[in-house]
């Protein structure tokens, strides 16, 4: 009887172990599936967070680009309006009166005329020259005039301010003249400095301008040279396409290096049709 009980108990244990093996395998599989599912969920959460941050960055970038495009468009419109206003003012200027008598006496700088410079009709108080290449192509124009910036009558410059002035005219006043001119031309000032040319102090201002279709892209260069001669401030302005900037600037500085004292020059009005 004892032996039979042992056999029965052994068979019961064997059957119980055999019955639990599939359940154990099922539990192991379920645990593995749960871990894999949890891992996939974690990856999805990271991916969603990354996509959310990327979309936010993309929205910020697009907003910045729209802001920049709007600012550029507004600047182009301002330049176009300034150019249109300048053209309108030019069209409304009164025509000169026909006369054969002397109109005015214009002090001008005296320097040997460079080979490629040809005298052109004066405009207002400006003596003008046309610069041509050997092929006859117009490279640019040069204008020489006496300038008188608006200054307070009781202005007294300190010693440090005199170092940044020509005569009693501060550089900032001369730069303001250039800025006003470039607003009319639809352009902008690039740089300015002081240098010595032919033993004289010269204040140089560089500027550029565009055109009606692309006002923000430089098409024309403007070099303004201010020099003091016999107590008066003179301006030599060189203007032309940007590809001729270097040779024209070199010739302008050569002309300033050979500068002599100015002499009055009488202009005579011509009949204009």
The closest alpha carbon to 142, from 259, 262, 223, 243, belongs to 223
pLDDT above 60 for 92: no
Q: What is the mean pLDDT of residues 63-87?
A: 82
Contacts of 142 (CB under 8 A, 6+ apart): 117, 128, 129, 130, 131, 236, 237, 238, 239, 248, 252
Span 130-181, pLDDT tens digits = 999 888 889 999 999 888 776 554 444 555 556 788 877 888 889 999 999 9
Residues 189-212 have pLDDT tens digits of 999 999 998 888 999 999 998 865
Per residue in 116-138, pLDDT tens? 888 888 877 788 999 998 888 89
For residues 62 and 152, give the distance between their C-alpha atoms in angstroms, rounded to a whole number.
50
Orientation angle between helical segments 2-91 and 171-185, nearest 10 degrees: 90
What is the pTM (predicted TM-score) of this model?
Answer: 0.55
């Amino acid at each position: 009887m004892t032996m039979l009980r042992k056999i029965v108990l052994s068979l019961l244990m064997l059957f119980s172990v055999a019955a639990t093996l599939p359940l154990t395998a099922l539990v192991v599989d379920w645990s593995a599936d749960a871990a894999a599912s949890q891992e996939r969920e974690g990856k999805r959460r990271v991916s969603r967070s990354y996509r959310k941050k990327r979309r936010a960055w993309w929205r910020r970038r697009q907003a910045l680009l729209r802001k920049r495009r709007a600012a550029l468009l507004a600047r182009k419109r301002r330049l176009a309006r300034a150019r249109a206003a300048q053209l309108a003012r030019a069209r409304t200027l009164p025509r000169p009166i026909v006369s054969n008598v002397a109109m005015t006496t214009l002090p001008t700088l005296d320097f040997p005329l460079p080979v490629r410079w040809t005298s052109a009709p004066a405009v207002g108080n400006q003596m003008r020259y046309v610069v041509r290449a050997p092929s006859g192509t117009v490279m640019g124009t040069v204008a020489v005039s006496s300038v008188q910036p608006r200054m307070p009558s009781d202005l007294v410059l300190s010693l440090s301010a005199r170092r940044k002035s020509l005569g009693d005219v501060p550089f900032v006043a001369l730069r303001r003249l250039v800025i006003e001119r470039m607003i009319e031309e639809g352009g902008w000032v690039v740089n300015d400095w002081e240098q010595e040319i032919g033993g004289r102090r010269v204040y140089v201002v560089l500027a550029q301008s565009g055109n009606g279709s692309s006002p923000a892209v430089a098409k024309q260069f403007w070099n303004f040279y201010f020099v003091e001669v016999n107590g008066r401030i003179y301006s030599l302005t060189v203007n032309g396409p940007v590809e001729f900037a270097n040779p024209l600037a070199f010739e302008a500085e050569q002309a300033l290096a050979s500068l002599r004292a100015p002499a009055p020059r009488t202009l005579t009005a011509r009949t204009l049709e």
